[in-house]
Amino acid sequence: MSYQSNEPGTLLTPEEQIAISELANIGNPGEVLTVNPSGTGLEYTPNSSSDEKVSYKSGTTPGYLKDVTVAGTGIILAEGTGADEGKLKIINSLDLSGYVPYTGATADLNLGTHSITASNFTGSSSGSNTGDQDLSNLVEEAPSDDKQYARKNAGWVEVEASSSADGIGFDIDGFGIVPSTTVIGSYVAKKSGTITGWKIIESNGVSSSIVLTVKKNDTEISGTEKPTLSNTSSAEDTTLTTWTTSIAKGDIISISIDSVSVGTKFFLQIYYS
């Protein structure tokens, strides 16, 4: 290493360089060798530099970053060593061995065995959640006696006038809300016969109001005795003095809603024989 003199572009002689090197080791602790203010020589002056410390607000005593940083729960602050020397390391100290990561999971998490109960469920309803579950035994089947039934008050009710009568059934389901006033559906008569009455229920047993129109081949046949609920959950008429009651095989019987309130699911049975 060569030192320049105070004259620009002039190198010191080897003897001068040795002398300066010796001077560098003479000063008092805390002093450094600097050029004097006039630029004519060298002198020892107090070291005005300080450690690189930080403070987070005015008036606080500066400190090392590690000492003025507070580690939260599960965090450790440490001074780096080796290749990390001079760095502040932030280390997670939480035990995550009991957690399943979102990515890289290799198995389902077993949530245990739970019971399912409902007033209209029967049979065993418990089991583990490993694999697909067969729930077919949880819903009670309607009686298998060739009669027609509808759900009411968590049970099955017969909707035919008698076991010997044929019937035409219509479901009116608003799927949790009051159904809209529209054509609900149609049925093609399987044989000729005579309509003998009707029965309508609100399937959830709710006191409701609804008025239906019944048509045959697009012509109204229900007269002034339309299937109607008026603040009740069930109604029936087996007289039908104003109906057109004859049905031929192949006739299309359809219903539509004139008005409805409160109820969300209804069932209409038209009796004919």
> Tell me: the pLDDT tens digits for 127-151?
555 556 665 666 677 777 766 677 7
**What is the reported pLDDT for 105?**
59
Statement: residue 231 has pLDDT above 80:
yes
**What is the reported pLDDT for 235?**
95
**What is the reported pLDDT for 94?**
76
H/E element, 14: helix 14-23
* Structural domains of the chain ordered from first start: 1-49 (no CATH), 54-100 (no CATH), 149-272 (2.60.120)
**What is the reported pLDDT for 119?**
46
The residue among 255 and 182 whose pLDDT is bigger is 255
**What's this model's pTM, rounded to 2 decimal places?**
0.42
Pairing mode of beta strands 75-79, 88-92: antiparallel
Statement: residue 39 has pLDDT above 70:
yes
What rounded mean pLDDT belongs to the chain? Answer: 75
Statement: residue 226 has pLDDT above 90:
yes
Residue 202 near residue 272 (C-beta atoms within 8 A): no
Residue 249 near residue 187 (C-beta atoms within 8 A): no
**What is the reported pLDDT for 2?**
44
pLDDT band at residue 85, thresholds of 50, 70 and 90?
confident
Pairwise CA distance, residues 170 & 149, whole Å: 11
Share of the chain above pLDDT 70, in %: 59
pLDDT band at residue 185, thresholds of 50, 70 and 90?
confident
Statement: residue 54 has pLDDT above 90:
no
**What is the reported pLDDT for 121?**
47
Q: Please spell the DSSP secondary structure of 107-168, one letter per residue.
A: SPPP---EE---TTB-S--EE--SS----GGGBPPPP-SS--EEEETTEEEE-SSSTT-EEE
**What is the reported pLDDT for 233?**
92
Residue 261 near residue 208 (C-beta atoms within 8 A): yes
3-class state of residue 56 by DSSP: coil
**What is the reported pLDDT for 241?**
94
Statement: residue 215 has pLDDT above 90:
yes
Statement: residue 53 has pLDDT above 70:
no
pLDDT band at residue 160, thresholds of 50, 70 and 90?
very low
Q: How much is the average pLDDT of 62-70?
A: 71
**What is the reported pLDDT for 163?**
37
Phi first, then psi: give them for residue 82, nearest 5 degrees.
60, -125
